[in-house]
Amino acid sequence: MNPVHPNNIVAAWTQGPFQDIIAAASFDGGQTWQQVPLPLTVCSGGPFLGTGDEWLSFAPNGVLYALATAGNSSASRVEQVMRSTDGGLHWTASLVPGSSSVDPPADHPSLTADPTNPAFVYAIWNGTNSPHSTAAVFARTTDGGSTWEPARAIFQTAEHSFIQFSRILVLPNGTLVDLYEFFVQQPNGPITQTTLQLLRSTDHGESWSTPVTGVTMTPLYRPDGTTFVVDPETGQFVFDHTDHAAAVDMRNGNLYAVWEDGRFSNFQYNDIAFSMSADGGFSWSAPIRVNQTPLNIPPANRQAFHPFIAVAANGTIGVSYYDFRLNDPNPGLPTDYWLVQCHPVSTGPATDPACWDSEVRLTTSSFNMEAVVPVVAGEFFLGDYFGLAAAGNDFVATFIQPDRDNVTSAFFARNANK
Residues 6+ apart with CB under 8 A from 245: 257, 258, 259, 307, 308, 309, 388
**CA-to-CA dists, residue 283 to 124, 271, 311, 348, angstroms:** 23, 22, 20, 20
Confidence class of residue 130 from pLDDT cuts 50, 70 and 90?
low
Report the chain's mean pLDDT, rounded to a whole number: 90
Does residue 227 register a pLDDT over 90? no
Asked if residue 304 lies in contact with residue 322, where contact means CB atoms within 8 angstroms, the answer is yes
Specify the range with the lowest mean pLDDT, choosing from 13-17, 101-105, 200-204, 232-236: 101-105
Asked if residue 159 lies in contact with residue 148, where contact means CB atoms within 8 angstroms, the answer is no
* pLDDT given at position 376: 82
* pLDDT given at position 74: 74
Tell me the three state secondary structure of residue 205.
coil
Confidence class of residue 340 from pLDDT cuts 50, 70 and 90?
very high
CA distance 77 to 59: 26
CA distance 314 to 319: 15
* pLDDT given at position 100: 55
Does residue 394 register a pLDDT over 60? yes
CA distance 34 to 87: 11
Confidence class of residue 71 from pLDDT cuts 50, 70 and 90?
confident
Give the residue with greater pLDDT, 32 vs 347: 32
* pLDDT given at position 172: 96
Does residue 418 register a pLDDT over 70? no
> What one-letter code names the amino acid at 82?
M
Write out pLDDT tens, residues 266-322. 999 999 999 999 999 999 999 999 999 999 999 999 999 999 999 999 999 999 999
* pLDDT given at position 162: 83
CA distance 276 to 283: 8
Residues 6+ apart with CB under 8 A from 126: 106, 107, 108, 134, 135, 136, 137, 163, 164, 165, 166
Write out pLDDT tens, residues 308-325. 999 999 999 999 999 999
Percent of the chain, pLDDT > 70? 95
Sequence-separated contacts (24+) of 401-405 with Cβ below 8 Å: 401/335, 401/337, 401/363, 401/367, 402/367, 402/372, 402/373
**CA-to-CA dists, residue 56 to 19, 192, 199, angstroms:** 18, 33, 22
Burial of 271 (C-beta count, 10 Å sphere; 0-12/13-18/19+): buried
* pLDDT given at position 107: 79
The average pLDDT across 96-107 equals 67
State pTM to two decimals: 0.94
Q: How many CA atoms lie within 13 Å of 368's alpha carbon, on the beta-carbon side?
A: 11
The average pLDDT across 137-162 equals 89
Does residue 223 register a pLDDT over 70? no
CA distance 159 to 156: 9
